[in-house]
Structure 1
Amino acid sequence: MSEPGLRCHEDHRRRDVRRSERTNGIDFVEVEQNGEECELHLHLLRSLPPAGEPPLFSEENVRIEGGTRIRDVRAAGFRPVPAPDPARDDVVVVRLTKPGDQSRYTVRLVDAEGHPLRDVDPRYRSAGFHFVAGTPTDVDCLPTAGSARPPAATPELSYLAKDYGSFRQLLLDRLATTLPGWRERHSPDLYLALVEVLAYEADRLSYAQDAVSTEAYLDTARLRTSVRRHVRLVDHAMHEGCNARTWVCLTAQGDPVVSTDALSFVTRPKGVAPGQVVLLPRDLDRVARGSYEVFEPLLPAGPAAVTPGDVVDPDRLRYRLLHDDDPRTDYIRSTLTEADRRLLDREDLDDEDLPGLVGTLADRLGQLLRAPGFLVRTQEAAREALERYGALTALTGARLAAGNREQLEHLFPEELGGPMRLRLHEAHNAISCYTWGLLDCCLPAGATTATLQDGWDAESSRRDLRHLRPGDVLVFEEVLGPRTGVAADADPAHRHAVRLTDVQPGWDRLREVPVVEVRWDPADALPFPLVLSAPGPPPECAPLTDVTVVRGNVVLADHGRTIRQPGPVELRHGGRSTVAVPFPARYAVVPADDVELCCTREGTVAERPVRGPAYEPVLDRGPVVFREPLSDGVPAGAALRQDPRRAVPALAVYGPVSWPRPGQDLVERPPDPTMTWPVTLRYERWEARRDLLGSGPADRHVVVEPDDDGAAHLRFGDGQFGARPEPGARMLLSYRSGGGLAGNVGHGAIAHVVLRGEISGGAITGVSNPLPAHGGTDPEPVDEVRLLAPHAFRTRLERAVVAEDYAAIVLRDFADSVQRAVATVAVEAAPAERAGGRRGAARKATAGAMPTVVTVRVDPLGTSADAPALCSRVAEHLERYRRIGHTVRVEPPRYVPLDLTVEVGPLPGHQPGALRTALLDRLSNRVLPDGTRGFFHPDALTFGQPVAISALLGVVHAVPGIAWGRITHLARRTADEPDGAAPQPELPEGDVLAMAETEIARLDDDPDLPENGSLTIHVEVAP
């Protein structure tokens, strides 16, 4: 092989030399070294001349050149080695005088004068070699093949191309270099079509790159979905708005019963007669959708329960419980106590005993919901439970309660009402308040009780209001002007909804009038006085009655309409039904996973599933309603208040289930009667969540993400964070559309009922919302989110570190029930230390090892009585915020009873008794008839607030008719003092009675409870 210098892609000369008759040359060289002996093996291109002919070369013709340190390497021996195989070339072994160094050497075949040999090809008369060729190295020993062709010139490319036009020109410039012969630029040309397709795709990819870089940062993100996910990382919950709620009053004829699914309420649509109260769905087909708003009944989202309002016919229910021959009623009878049996066996029950009977029945049936033995009393029920839940051991918690509730409704269809059945009563349309024959009466502000006038049902000889139950909602409405008696003069702001907590039938024996005493939650106390009766206008001056009436048949409705098209499907579970629809056609089927071929072993091919495209359907109709879940039995006012950040989408997805797993919550699709073999299909509910960060691989959760146009995108799990939908499944969807500020309609805006089903037992003749809708909120603006989100973690406490943090969390999360809270931190001594032991003394210097107790004291709103239920809720809530090592205790305040003595002098012409009464009111702990609070009202004083004599004198002098006044005694009330104790001063030092940080002043002036403070008033009358 020749020396480096000329490099070519093809070596045809080697082939020609091999084919020649005489010419030979060196193909390659091998070095063989054994200690100090070294040999060169010269592999030739052809065989050596046969014996008898002159040799090709001899020892004198071999010359070794090169080397760095060792340059005198010479040939010391020469030995031809013919190849044993004629197909292989001969080898000449040249023994050297000594080995060389690590540099490159060259062996040459020359004559004595150094000229090339005659029969040796000039191209292959020499070859390079190394004496250390066998040394391991990472460098490839093969020489790099060079190219005889010069490199082509690089075309100029514009890196500023970002759109279709610039990409098209870039491709044309490239093709002008690579295809100089192509000059066609007409549209039908194939090359031009290909260029335009590639330019279009490049434009799309360029936009995608720009979109990714734009949406990657909160400051530059434009899409609502991107902003929502960014702020979630800093614990800011971006809300999607909230729908409005209102109380709807229905006017009934008879006692109609209707399903809540078949009922909705609408405002006045254009083109519909105002007097047409009940509409059918087809009546709205010709009306523009944007000309009216839709409201639907709202049901509690809590677990199944039996309330007194569910007991429709207590007498018949009592009879069936005592006499029915059914395994389920036998089981119920076995759970009754002796007191329950005596109550049910009584034959002399009258209307006054009805609340007790209803309460007992509801309580016993409610306890039955948690009994596992009731659901499987019959073989049919046990078989259905096994088919639905996969195993009877899965019947626990909410599943057991829902199953038992469904069995109760099947067992008592007429006696027990269901959550989906709305029962109206004509006697509840307008109820009069009973004034006991008195005139000019009113319900004062802060009232929590009233007396309703009852009547008699001529057909059944029963009370008209016998169906009134605790938990029902009533609306007090001023229907006449208190001064004129004209309906147009009634104040529309004087309307208030209350939820009843107690209903007690009574009797006015003097007038022989049946009455009902009702009481409602203190949270629903009247915010203003309501006139019940008043003297009429002159000249008749006839007394005005029923100035304020009470509306029953009240339904809580929220804004939004259920999507029922196309192809509505009814799903049932636990006595409730849901209307679901298929997904839009392009998302009707969950896409299957892709399949790729792989080799399991030689000659065997198998299919391997590969993760297919993500299933992220987009809903056709929007926006989706977001609302805060409604708890059962909350006060009427609290039912209307919603926090948009706690609102969840009114949406659920249902996936088909071929065979239930134990513990699944399934809903059933009733069989189609038109099918040859009707089959009940079962579906599993996928619940909507704000995100999937806390979802496991088996959790059926879905995220609803509205975009900037209001269209809802559904995002399912990936198998790690949330379960993946089953490929090929046809899922169903239940959701509502609406919400936002559009739902905040005024009072009286709802004027029609849309009936989609049958109504039995009567009719609906009127509908109205006496109170305006409240709570409708639009989605949070993106610009506002960018402004607030980076600082959200600084403004909302998520961990309590110091005492002030505990108090702040209580005030933030219990603003509707706590006026103020204080917290103190103390290190609790160990038991041995308290006993004076040596171990306790040793630990005194290391207080950090002792338990730290945080005592939180709460001042409840509206009362000074102990609130153990409130303290328990606060303590449970603080567990998630407390610091490690802190033990949290929640206690009521330390109330300090006071003794107060006031002396006043009346002005001439004022009665001492009237002044005394006025002073008792102003210094009381009550809410006064004019809506103001007494000085010692529980909400007027709080922790650490001192009682100043100047403030008391200000209240005293504000009473008309007081000439002068002074405080003669103000001190803490103490127990009987022992003999010899120093008496307390009459007045505090500095005329201010101080309170500690955890103390609240209290003065109830209750003669039966003098330990809660006393008030003494002396009115000095001039002789």
Structure 2
Amino acid sequence: MNTPGDRRQALRQSTTLNGIDFIRVDATQTKLEVHFLNPVPGRNQLRSTVKDPRISGGDAIPTVPVRPITDADWSQNPGEPPVLTLRVPAPGDFSQYTLSLGGELLDPFFSRATFSFKANCDSRLDCEQPPEECALELPPPPPIDYLAKDFASFRKALSDFSAQRHPEWQERSEADFGVMFLESLSSLADDLSYLQDRIAAEASLDTATQRRSLVRHARLVDYEPRPIMTAQAWLWLEVTKSGPLPAGLPVSALGPDGERIDFETGRGLADTQTYPVDPRWNPGKLEPYAWDDSERCLPAGATELWLQGDGLGLFAEQWLLIDTEPRTGGNESIRALVRLTEIQEGSDPLFGDTKLTRVSWRAEDALARDHDLTRTHVRGNLVPVTQGRRFRESFIVEGAPSGERQSALVRTGLNGTPQVLFPLAQAPLAWHPSSEDADSPAQPELSVVRQDEDPPEPWSWQRSLLDAGSFETVFTVDPIRYRPVGLRHPDGTVSMDYDGDGETLRFGDGVFGEMPDEGAVFEVTYRTSVGAAGNVAADSITLVDPNGPLGEWATQAGNPFPAEGGADAESAESVRRLAPEAFRARRLNAVRPEDYDAAAESLPWVQRAGTVARYTGSWHTVFTAVDPLGSEVLAPEQHLELAILLGRRRIAGHEVYTSAPRYVSLDLEVFVCARPEAFQGDVEEAVLEVLSDKRLRNGRTGFFHVDRFSFGTPLERSVLEKEIQLAHGVAGVRDVRYRRRGFTAGLVALPETLTVGTDEILRVDNNPSRPERGSIKVIVEGGK
């Protein structure tokens, strides 16, 4: 059987047949030179038989017409094949066209040829078309088990494949190389399958288990999972010498399991200030002074106290502890922390000019409960303490470690840039709330200083390096851990790999944060925390090491109040539940009246807010009034803060107007029956006390205290009579009459529920100097 290559050679040897050899297109693309294979002598005979030229096969131009053939279109040099010149009105497109010629002297196979009108266009591609080859017959693909996910199933799948493709190989010995290679591939596939499952699990918030994945998913919706927060407390000291006490001195407490819980003086790792201490402020040195036996009670709301002696060295802004021991058989100490504003020395001339010192403190530190001066002691030497234990490490970037200095972990990051990492050896890292803004994320108890600079250069922490400039010396903390794997290299470095949750410092890449230079030496100081276990009870932080740094200063210590603020890291379940809803938890716009109320109540000094929206004739106006906590008067700075807050959240086109609340003043007449053994004056005094707007001596508040009623709070007669019944000597309530000042002239019976408007607040101050704020008149019947 002849092949296509043999046919061309056979046609060249023929004396009767001819065929097309190739086609050449000129520069105008309108003239085609058709070259034939054989230089046949019968040119006239060939000229008379070639006819019907057709050009077809185009894409945009399917066919191209050819002008009729004339004798002038033929040419032939002596001893060479003839050439036929064809002309077309216009060139074709970029497709491959086929020229077909009819004629008896043309071989059927070589009577047509493919060409391109654009053959003369510049191109770096080979114009010769590769020969067509038939596709090889492949064996049928083996069946694929897509449920194969472990070593055994992969081994079975490869065994079935080898039996189908290589039936002659039947070796199954475990020592055979083929079997060993098969099992090695199965093991590798098992590892890759596990890695795929882990990556797929970490790609979703619902299935992620690694802390790093949870944090990154949560940050996509602006939710910052809570890290381990460190606890803080106040500590009193019994010191042996005076002077500035530095921060960072260790003290500890015993936990429920007997483990030591470490604390340090100061408000955190960044606290470098000193705290004044003096033996004159030790326990038992500052004792209160009562001018008379009738003044042995320091009442609630007090802001000053007399102390025995002078020359005590007290100063403004100093913290003092007022500690009242429990009564005999009691178990509760009454303690208050106050910050001094004024110190004044004096004397008692009646008892031999007894030296005294009067101390005053801030109004916000006013005593909340009564203190019995016969059981009260005053203590100084107060310092804050923070839970945690301090560690210090040093590392070098891309250098050989030496001594205690480690080598940083350098990996290839995005775009091929080096990524400098340093995993902390101790965990978990302590975090504390930001002192500037309560809504800002927590900050780590961490200090990073570059030591090879002169002077040493501190680097600052940033939550995300995406917010850093290319020259900012910052770093961030990733919740991941790396551990050494393998043997130590000859240069002293150790290979490290990912090992789950922990803390690792990550530096910038030169685009987002500055990249540390090669050979840079850093020193890292950080503190670890026990989280919620650091919230120890009062009087628990008492362990002072006499041989430690604090032992040089103090012999005894104690925390008057429980430590607070410590918290464990937020659980994965909590992150999954709260992160998707975090952006809805705090709205930054206000549409409905309740939205304005919620925005106003977010201020710490607002007890409750009331909002009414009205159309004023020109535009919509929102009127918001607030009930300030512990006061009836809105300070100018509070009014401004409220107006700015609501102005940022209002709807465009709506005006916001903030105003003071509307108070409803009531005049009450209360008719009570006294017990037979009670004096009428005592009963009247007791009723006025329980219905007052003051804070009572037992720590409770009077019925008409400013914080008890807010916008729209009604007056329930049953609740009022219940409070009156609790007064000393009251046998019963006969009647209660009322009058709304400014609305009604006479008093009428108090209904079961006295309602007020949503922007109104009930007020009964019973202050004779301010009768317009309401009054109470008690009529006692019976008794003595």
Superposition TM-score, scaled by structure 2 size: 0.77
Q: Which of 52, 59, 69 is matched with 2:44 structurally?
A: 59
1:503 aligns with 2:342: yes
Whole-angstrom CA distance in 2 between matches of 1:233 and 1:143: 54
Q: Contact 1:75 / 1:95 at 8 angstroms: preserved in 2?
A: no
After TM superposition, list the pairs within 5 Å mapping 1:841-860 onto structure 2: 844=617, 847=618, 850=619, 852-860=620-628
1:743 aligns with 2:534: yes
1:549 aligns with 2:377: yes
Q: Which range moves more in the overlay, 905-914 or 987-996?
A: 987-996
Corresponding position of 1:438: 293
Corresponding position of 2:445: 650
Corresponding position of 1:423: 276
- 1:594-614 Cα shifts (integer Å, max 9, x gaps): 9xxxxxxxxxxxxxxx64144
Whole-angstrom CA distance in 2 between matches of 1:925 and 1:998: 21
Q: Whose relative contact order is higher, 1 or 2, with alpha carbons under 8 Å and at least 6 apart?
A: 1
After TM superposition, list the pairs within 5 Å mapping 1:297-316 onto structure 2: 297-299=265-267
Corresponding position of 1:156: 142
Which residue identity lines up with residue 748 of structure 2 in the other structure?
L
* 1:623 positional shift: 0.8
Corresponding position of 2:694: 926
Q: Which of 500, 524, 540 is matched with 1:733 structurally?
A: 524
* 1:187 positional shift: 10
Q: Contact 1:155 / 1:177 at 8 angstroms: preserved in 2?
A: no
Corresponding position of 1:81: 76
Which residue identity lines up with residue 526 of structure 2 in the other structure?
Y
* 1:953 positional shift: 4.3
Q: Which range moves more in the overlay, 497-506 or 871-880?
A: 871-880
Corresponding position of 1:772: 562
Which residue identity lines up with residue 681 of structure 1 in the other structure?
P
Which residue identity lines up with residue 925 of structure 1 in the other structure?
D
After TM superposition, list the pairs within 5 Å mapping 1:468-487 onto structure 2: 468-470=315-317, 472-479=318-325, 482-483=327-328
Corresponding position of 1:1015: 776
Q: Contact 1:616 / 1:714 at 8 angstroms: preserved in 2?
A: yes
Corresponding position of 1:687: 461
- 1:636-673 Cα shifts (integer Å, max 9, x gaps): xxxxxx99x9533223444x5xxxxxxxxxxxx6x9xx
Which residue identity lines up with residue 238 of structure 1 in the other structure?
P
**Partner SS for 1:510:** helix
- Give the number of equivalent residue pairs: 735
Q: Which of 792, 813, 819 is matched with 2:607 structurally?
A: 819
Q: Contact 1:298 / 1:558 at 8 angstroms: preserved in 2?
A: yes
* 1:244 positional shift: 1.7
Which residue identity lines up with residue 594 of structure 2 in the other structure?
E
Whole-angstrom CA distance in 2 between matches of 1:258 and 1:881: 47
* 1:736 positional shift: 1.7
Corresponding position of 2:263: 295
**Partner SS for 1:745:** coil
* 1:252 positional shift: 0.6
- 1:825-884 Cα shifts (integer Å, max 9, x gaps): 3445xxxxxxxxxxxxxxx4xx4xx3x443332222233344334444444444554433
User: Structure 2 vs 1, CA of residues 809 and 1010 (structure 1 numbering), >3 Å: closer, same or farther?
Assistant: same
After TM superposition, list the pairs within 5 Å mapping 1:445-460 onto structure 2: 446-456=300-310
Corresponding position of 1:625: 430
Which residue identity lines up with residue 428 of structure 2 in the other structure?
P
User: Structure 2 vs 1, CA of residues 300 and 825 (structure 1 numbering), >3 Å: closer, same or farther?
Assistant: farther
**Partner SS for 2:110:** strand
Whole-angstrom CA distance in 1 between matches of 2:556 and 2:267: 22
Q: Contact 1:247 / 1:555 at 8 angstroms: preserved in 2?
A: yes
**Partner SS for 2:462:** strand
**Partner SS for 1:127:** helix
**Partner SS for 2:207:** coil
User: Structure 2 vs 1, CA of residues 97 and 707 (structure 1 numbering), >3 Å: closer, same or farther?
Assistant: closer
Q: Which of 549, 559, 569 is matched with 2:387 structurally?
A: 559
- 1:40-76 Cα shifts (integer Å, max 9, x gaps): 632448xx5xxxxxx6553325754887899999996
1:223 aligns with 2:76: no
**Partner SS for 2:417:** coil
After TM superposition, list the pairs within 5 Å mapping 1:8-157 onto structure 2: 28-30=21-23, 41-44=34-37, 56-60=41-45, 63-64=49-50, 81-82=76-77, 90-94=80-84, 105=100, 110=105, 127-129=110-112, 134=117, 145-147=131-133, 150-153=136-139, 155-156=141-142
Q: Contact 1:59 / 1:76 at 8 angstroms: preserved in 2?
A: no
**Partner SS for 1:211:** helix
* 1:165 positional shift: 6.5
Q: Contact 1:495 / 1:770 at 8 angstroms: preserved in 2?
A: no
User: Structure 2 vs 1, CA of residues 76 and 973 (structure 1 numbering), >3 Å: closer, same or farther?
Assistant: same
* 1:33 positional shift: 11
User: Structure 2 vs 1, CA of residues 587 and 874 (structure 1 numbering), >3 Å: closer, same or farther?
Assistant: farther
Whole-angstrom CA distance in 1 between matches of 2:66 and 2:600: 96
* 1:925 positional shift: 0.8
* 1:821 positional shift: 1.6
**Partner SS for 1:805:** helix
User: Structure 2 vs 1, CA of residues 131 and 624 (structure 1 numbering), >3 Å: closer, same or farther?
Assistant: closer
Superposition TM-score, scaled by structure 1 size: 0.61
Whole-angstrom CA distance in 1 between matches of 2:585 and 2:595: 12
Corresponding position of 1:335: none
* 1:766 positional shift: 1.1
- 1:81-132 Cα shifts (integer Å, max 9, x gaps): 338xxxxx93412479999x9875257785xxx9xxxxxxxxx996233698
Q: Contact 1:956 / 1:962 at 8 angstroms: preserved in 2?
A: yes
Which residue identity lines up with residue 683 of structure 1 in the other structure?
E
Q: Contact 2:255 / 2:536 at 8 angstroms: preserved in 1?
A: no
Which residue identity lines up with residue 552 of structure 1 in the other structure?
G
* 1:804 positional shift: 0.9
Which residue identity lines up with residue 746 of structure 2 in the other structure?
P
Corresponding position of 1:913: 681
Whole-angstrom CA distance in 1 between matches of 2:87 and 2:316: 123
After TM superposition, list the pairs within 5 Å mapping 1:179-258 onto structure 2: 204-258=191-245
Whole-angstrom CA distance in 2 between matches of 1:564 and 1:495: 41
User: Structure 2 vs 1, CA of residues 97 and 257 (structure 1 numbering), >3 Å: closer, same or farther?
Assistant: closer
* 1:621 positional shift: 1.6
- 1:574-597 Cα shifts (integer Å, max 9, x gaps): xxxxxxx99983426x66899xxx
1:723 aligns with 2:706: no
Q: Contact 1:301 / 1:629 at 8 angstroms: preserved in 2?
A: no
**Partner SS for 2:137:** coil
User: Structure 2 vs 1, CA of residues 734 and 907 (structure 1 numbering), >3 Å: closer, same or farther?
Assistant: same
Q: Percentage identity across aligned positions? A: 27
Q: Which range moves more in the overlay, 917-926 or 699-708?
A: 699-708
* 1:797 positional shift: 2.9
User: Structure 2 vs 1, CA of residues 927 and 707 (structure 1 numbering), >3 Å: closer, same or farther?
Assistant: same
Q: Which range moves more in the overlay, 185-194 or 291-300?
A: 185-194
Which residue identity lines up with residue 650 of structure 1 in the other structure?
E
User: Structure 2 vs 1, CA of residues 38 and 697 (structure 1 numbering), >3 Å: closer, same or farther?
Assistant: closer
Whole-angstrom CA distance in 1 between matches of 2:164 and 2:252: 70
Which residue identity lines up with residue 146 of structure 1 in the other structure?
E
Structural RMSD (CA): 5.2
Whole-angstrom CA distance in 2 between matches of 1:130 and 1:17: 15
Q: Contact 2:339 / 2:365 at 8 angstroms: preserved in 1?
A: no
Which residue identity lines up with residue 147 of structure 1 in the other structure?
E
Q: Contact 1:240 / 1:626 at 8 angstroms: preserved in 2?
A: yes
Whole-angstrom CA distance in 1 between matches of 2:529 and 2:258: 11
* 1:251 positional shift: 0.8
* 1:984 positional shift: 1.4
Which residue identity lines up with residue 226 of structure 1 in the other structure?
S
Higher helix content, 1 or 2: 1
Which residue identity lines up with residue 428 of structure 1 in the other structure?
W
- 1:671-727 Cα shifts (integer Å, max 9, x gaps): 9xxxxxxx73242532232x456656666654434359650144556666x424345
User: Structure 2 vs 1, CA of residues 987 and 73 (structure 1 numbering), >3 Å: closer, same or farther?
Assistant: same
* 1:515 positional shift: 3.7
Whole-angstrom CA distance in 2 between matches of 1:186 and 1:704: 52
Whole-angstrom CA distance in 1 between matches of 2:717 and 2:86: 126
Whole-angstrom CA distance in 1 between matches of 2:3 and 2:281: 112
User: Structure 2 vs 1, CA of residues 889 and 95 (structure 1 numbering), >3 Å: closer, same or farther?
Assistant: closer
Whole-angstrom CA distance in 2 between matches of 1:630 and 1:90: 100
Q: Contact 1:266 / 1:292 at 8 angstroms: preserved in 2?
A: yes
* 1:293 positional shift: 1.4
